[in-house]
Amino acid sequence: MERRELLKMIALATGGVLIGGELLMSGCKNPPALGGATFSDQDISFLDEVAETILPRTSTPGAKDAGVGRFMTVQVNDCYTKEDQDVFHAGIRKLNDASKEMFNKDFLDATAEERTQLLGQLDKEAKEHQKKKQEKDWQIKDAKSKDPESEGAKEQPLPNHYFTQMKQLTLFGFFTSEKGSKEVLRHVAVPGKYNGALPYKKGDRAWAE
Amino acid sequence: MSDTTRVNINNRAAETNTFDAIVVGSGISGGWAAKELAEKGLRVLMLERGRPFEHITDYKTANLMKWELPHRGETTQQQRNDYPVIHRGWAANEAVMDYWANEKDNPYIEKKPFTWWRSYQMGGRSILWGRQSYRLSDLDFEANLKEGVGIDWPIRYRDIAPWYDHVEKFAGIAGSKEGISHLPDGAFLPPFPLNLVEKDVASRIKSHYKGERHLIIGRVANLTQAIPDRTGCQYRNRCWEGCPFGGYFSTQSSTLPAAMKTGNLTVRPFSIVTRVLYDKDQKRATGVEVLDAENNNTYTFNSKIVFLCASALNSAWILMNSATEIWPDGLGSSSDELGHNIMDHHYNIGASGDVDGYEDFYVEGRRPTGFYIPRFVNVGNDKREYLRGFGYQGAANRQGWSREVAEMNVGAGLKEALTEPGPWRIGATGFGEILPYHENKITLSKTVKDKWGLPVLEMDAELKENEWKMRKDIQLELKAMLEASGVKNVNTWDGGHAMGHGIHEMGTARMGRDSKTSVLNGNNQVWDALNVFVTDGACMTSSGCQNPSLTYMALTARAAHFAAAGKW
């Protein structure tokens, strides 16, 4: 069964709360709701808010200003493996579920402080997961180099953590964007010279390139 | 097909099919051959198997900002599928993907793992190259003889030194004069500067190793000042997209305009040379046969001289596919060395660490080179349990936004922290010499063909004990040097190495003193057909550990002058 239809059934079975209903309605015209097999406008808005929580607008533009939500979907669609795409799409729902569990509300209904608290926790969880993944990757590589036919060599690697994907894409999308490069970092297209001992004081911004 | 020998298509071909010289390939070596021969007054035809690629106008991303690229430089899954070999290393980038050869049209067989990074377009890999430019010395030219490895080079440093001068002056090599006898100084433009941290590490290495080890600025084919017809480097460090300023040496920026200026050069793209035509009575080549990559027609071009500069593996391929009625294994195969002794430089191994302090300093501008640590093992009184040696290339810089900020997870604090440069780090990778082994070889496949029905290459080459021992030392010595310089948390890494990965493939038609053990003589002439010259990496008798392109330039210029003088 298509996940979209499954969602619809779940929504009906649970009385189809209005928010979900709205999402499904719009999902009929376009790709569906949150965390579907393809990205919807809701997904992009959701990812914008995730990115904005990671890199918020301060005295300089934030991730949403730089269009990071949409950028993430382009990278996932075009550059991610199928496996990473699946992790990412499911991650949108998992992130929202984590919000419900922690605050009893959808991520988009959480306050800025709550969002920061949630993503802070997910970041820790993701870092621990990636560390385990890396260790296992090394074990598999090591086993393969010793005996490609051994049990250890045939172990499946752990998948990436969805929050690691989202954070990486946020940093990459933001700091390589026009706004991030010009208004947050320092961008000089044609330096024309090299100074290997440029005086620096705390607060001076990093170069964009 | 005899009616097609007269070429007249799309204005891009010659009016006649007879030339004084034919140059096969338009990369670093081919460009030099064309320039030198044309300047000597010879009418030259340059054949390039790939597409035309115009200076500046075809560097389509070179003035785009990274946010203007759809994926900001990352490659797509489609590109990963289309270019699996290019994705084995760092060479895959959205901006330059179509500079690399189409892997589906141009397959090859890996009997042992082999990474072959090719660029089939005008200028070859001279657009994409790393531009590091170092001379070999007699430490390299005498090594085979002294150690009883392979065969002796037929030349010594004194034979090539004036030609290094010749090519350096024209190409524009920025570098510092260091007086290191086994890494000879050259006719350099002013050097790029080391940064503050690199300078301090250099002086600590010098004092710790009592002047026997050096950290110097990389010698590189980028212009620290303008030279005739070319603008100086603009410190963008985007060289491989093609430089709109002509700030580095490429065929397009340098040798091609010089050759065109003579009025003696004709260039024909989409021209796959399938064989050298050989007259067995005269024992001379009479020209080449070309398969047009676009219309699949076959054409014949005649010349007094043929220069094969198609890259080490492809020049060997052409020879192996030629004169098979006389020598079943190809023109130049009488010694049984054609296609053998393939070498490369092994790298992708090194160390890096944290540099405390220097918080009050940063760098400005993007230098197109890093530092170089010349070979110090098996030099003078130093003796190791393996032969030859390695150099290192690396850099120090403050970290950027992709670094970990341990205490910052998400939010304004993270953003503020990443908006500033991070702590300094320093790191380098080794580049090690690979010995010539007869059994490391390429052959023509009897079964697999490319898009044009031509037999593809089978690669059968690997690193051996000498190289594996050296790799351990590359890590240990760099770790020791960095730690002796006060670098903290030094980590070593080894990304592995398949042959070819160094993009310095060479040795498949080696020079020598004896026609029984080599393919070429000391003037790069094929022993079996003296009017055929091979001056790309195929000619190398040993590999040294220095980046080899400058040596190909010098050997090509030397052979071209010899050929043009006609006293042979």
Q: What is the DSSP annotation of B186-198?
A: -SPBPPPPP-HHH
Instruction: Encode pLDDT of A14-45 as tens digits.
Output: 333 333 333 333 334 444 578 888 999 999 99
Chain A contacts in chain B segment 64-93 (CB below 8 A)? 65-67, 70-78
Summarize the confidence of residues B170-177 as an average pLDDT: 98
Q: Residue written as tokens 């920061």?
A: A116
Check residue A4 and give its pLDDT: 40
Query: Could you tell me the end-to-end alpha-carbon distance of chain A, in angstroms, rounded to an integer?
Result: 47
Check residue B406 and give its pLDDT: 75
Instruction: Encode pLDDT of A67-76 as tens digits.
Output: 999 999 999 9
B180 and B134 Cβ atoms separated by less than 8 Å: no
B376 and B212 Cβ atoms separated by less than 8 Å: yes
Check residue B182 and give its pLDDT: 98
Q: What is the DSSP annotation of B389-457?
A: -EEEEEEEEE--TTS--TT--SSHHHHHHHHS---EEEEEEEEEE----TTSEEEEEEEEE-TTSPEEE
> Does residue B105 surpass a pLDDT of 60?
yes
**Could you give the strand order of the β-sheet that contains B455-460, starting from the edge strand earlier in sequence?**
B109-110, B455-460, B441-449
Question: Would the CA dihedral through B79, B83, B88, B94 be positive or negative?
Answer: negative
Check residue B407 and give its pLDDT: 74
Check residue A35 and give its pLDDT: 82
ipTM: 0.92
Instruction: With beta carbons under 8 A apart, name residues in chain B contacting A207.
Output: 364, 400, 421
Q: At B94, which amino acid appears?
A: E
Check residue B288 and give its pLDDT: 98
H-assigned helices in B102-229: 138-141, 143-147, 157-171, 196-208
Closest residue on chain A to B233 (Cα): A192
A55 and A62 Cβ atoms separated by less than 8 Å: yes
Name all contacts of B105-110 with Cβ < 8 Å and 24+ positions apart. B105/B450, B105/B451, B106/B450, B106/B451, B106/B456, B107/B448, B107/B450, B107/B456, B108/B456, B108/B457, B108/B458, B108/B459, B109/B445, B109/B448, B109/B456, B109/B457, B109/B458, B109/B459, B110/B459
Q: Does A173 touch chain B (CB under 8 A)?
A: yes
- Could you tell me the residue ranges of all domains in chain A? 34-183
Residues near A82 by beta carbon (within 8 Å), at least 6 away in sequence: none
Q: Which two tokens stand for residue B517?
A: 């053990």
Check residue B458 and give its pLDDT: 98
Question: Would the CA dihedral through B121, B123, B129, B134 be positive or negative?
Answer: positive
Pick the closest to residue B182 from B227, B144, B217, B212 (CA basis).
Answer: B212
Question: Would the CA dihedral through B508, B513, B516, B519 be positive or negative?
Answer: positive
The shortest C-alpha distance from B409 to chain A (Å) reads 6
List B22's β-bridge partners, or say none. Answer: B45, B306
Pairwise CB contact (< 8 Å): B78 & A75: no
Summarize the confidence of residues B522-547 as an average pLDDT: 98
Helices H / strands E in chain A, number of each: 8, 1
Q: Does A185 touch chain B (CB under 8 A)?
A: yes
> DSSP 3-state helix, strand, coil percentages of chain A (rounded to 5)?
65, 5, 35
Q: What are phi and psi of B296, to 5 degrees?
A: 65, 10
pTM metric for this prediction: 0.92
Query: Could you tell me the end-to-end alpha-carbon distance of chain B, in angstroms, rounded to an integer?
Result: 34
List A133's β-bridge partners, or say none. Answer: none
The percent of residues in chain B predicted with pLDDT above 70, rounded, is 97
Closest residue on chain A to B235 (Cα): A192
Check residue A32 and give its pLDDT: 54
Check residue A25 and give its pLDDT: 38
Pick the closest to residue A196 from B199, B425, B482, B204 (CA basis).
Answer: B199
Q: Does B419 touch chain A (CB under 8 A)?
A: yes
Residues near B351 by beta carbon (within 8 Å), at least 6 away in sequence: B427, B428, B475, B478, B479, B482, B490, B491, B492, B493
Determine which of B66, B67, B69 to mutate to test the interface with A (most A C-beta atoms within 10 Å). Answer: B67
∠ CA B525-B527-B529, rounded to 5°: 80
List B442's β-bridge partners, or say none. Answer: B459
- For residue B71, give the nearest of A79, A178, A205 by CB distance: A79
> Does residue B238 surpass a pLDDT of 60?
yes
Pick the closest to residue B151 from B559, B514, B538 (CA basis).
Answer: B514
Pairwise CB contact (< 8 Å): A116 & B420: no
Instruction: Encode pLDDT of B387-415 as tens digits.
Output: 999 999 999 999 999 998 877 799 999 99
Instruction: Encode pLDDT of B52-90 as tens digits.
Output: 999 999 999 999 999 999 999 999 999 999 999 999 988
Check residue B362 and give its pLDDT: 98
Instruction: Encode pLDDT of B259-307 as tens digits.
Output: 999 999 999 999 999 999 999 999 999 999 999 999 999 999 999 999 9
Q: What is the mean pLDDT of chain A?
A: 87
Pick the closest to residue B19 from B267, B238, B239 (CA basis).
Answer: B267
Q: How confident is the model at residue A104 (pLDDT cuts 50, 70, 90)?
A: very high
B400 and B422 Cβ atoms separated by less than 8 Å: yes
B423 and B399 Cβ atoms separated by less than 8 Å: yes
Summarize the confidence of residues B513-541 as an average pLDDT: 98
Residues near B68 by beta carbon (within 8 Å), at least 6 away in sequence: none
The shortest C-alpha distance from A32 to chain B (Å) reads 24
Instruction: Encode pLDDT of B15-59 as tens digits.
Output: 479 999 999 999 999 999 999 999 999 999 999 999 999 999 999
Q: How confident is the model at residue A9 (pLDDT cuts 50, 70, 90)?
A: very low
Instruction: Encode pLDDT of B451-467 as tens digits.
Output: 999 999 999 999 999 99
CA distance B323 to B411: 70
Q: What are phi and psi of A78, to 5 degrees?
A: -95, -35
Check residue A7 and give its pLDDT: 38
The shortest C-alpha distance from A179 to chain B (Å) reads 9
Q: What is the DSSP annotation of B369-396?
A: --EEE---TTSTT---SSSS-EEEEEEE
Pick the closest to residue A161 from A54, A83, A79 (CA basis).
Answer: A83
B317 and B457 Cβ atoms separated by less than 8 Å: yes
The shortest C-alpha distance from B216 to chain A (Å) reads 14
Pick the closest to residue B410 from A170, A88, A69 (CA basis).
Answer: A170
Q: Which two tokens stand for residue A181?
A: 């490069």
Pairwise CB contact (< 8 Å): A53 & B410: yes
DSSP state of B522: T
Give the Å distances, CA to CA, from B132 to B65, B135, B372, B386, B547.
26, 10, 9, 25, 6
Check residue B6 and give its pLDDT: 36
Check residue B4 and give its pLDDT: 36
B206 and B214 Cβ atoms separated by less than 8 Å: yes
Q: Which two tokens stand for residue A157?
A: 């690697």
The percent of residues in chain B predicted with pLDDT above 90, rounded, is 94
Q: What is the DSSP annotation of B229-289?
A: TBPPP-S---GGG--TT--B--IIIIIHHHHHHTT-EEEE-SEEEEEEEEETTTTEEEEEE
Residues near B553 by beta carbon (within 8 Å), at least 6 away in sequence: B28, B29, B32, B167, B171
Summarize the confidence of residues B182-198 as an average pLDDT: 98
Q: At B374, which amino acid appears?
A: P
Residue scoring higher pLDDT (B239 or A29): B239
Chain B contacts in chain A segment 38-57 (CB below 8 A)? 53-56
Summarize the confidence of residues A98-122 as an average pLDDT: 97
Greatest C-alpha distance within chain A:
67
Give the Å distances, CA to CA, from B80 to B114, B535, B543, B559.
18, 33, 31, 40
CA distance B508 to B510: 6
Within 13 Å, how many C-alpha atoms sit on residue A162's CB side? 18
**SS (HEC) of B446-469:** EEEECCCCCEEEEEECCCCHHHHH
Summarize the confidence of residues B234-241 as an average pLDDT: 97
CA distance B365 to B343: 36
Q: At A99, which amino acid appears?
A: S
B194 and B202 Cβ atoms separated by less than 8 Å: yes
Summarize the confidence of residues B187-214 as an average pLDDT: 98
